[in-house]
Amino acid sequence: MMKFGQNYLFGSNLNLDHYQSRILLRKAAFKFVKIFNGLYNIIMENVFLQYLFWQFLEMPGNILKAWKNFLKFNLNYFSIPLLLKTLFSPWRRYRMSYGKGFDIGRYFTAFFSNLIFRILGAIMRVFLIIIGLLVEIFLIFAGIIIFFGWIALPALLIVGLIFGFKILF
Cβ atoms within 10 Å of 45's Cβ, excluding its own: 9
Q: Is the Cβ–Cβ distance between 85 and 71 less than 8 Å? A: no
Output DSSP code: residue 54: I
What does the pLDDT profile of the chain (169 residues) look like in tens digits?
445 445 555 555 555 566 777 777 777 877 777 777 777 777 667 788 888 888 999 999 999 999 999 999 999 999 899 999 988 888 777 776 777 777 788 888 888 888 888 899 899 999 999 999 999 999 999 999 999 999 999 999 999 999 999 999 8
E-strand spans in 15-163? none
pTM given for the model: 0.64
Helix (H, G, I), strand (E, B) or coil at 14: coil
Please report, for residues 43, 87, 145, the alpha-carbon distance to residue 137 in angstroms, rounded to integers and kept in the order given.
38, 21, 12
Percent helix, strand and coil across the chain, each to the nearest 5: 80, 0, 20
What residue spans define the domains of the chain? 20-50, 66-169
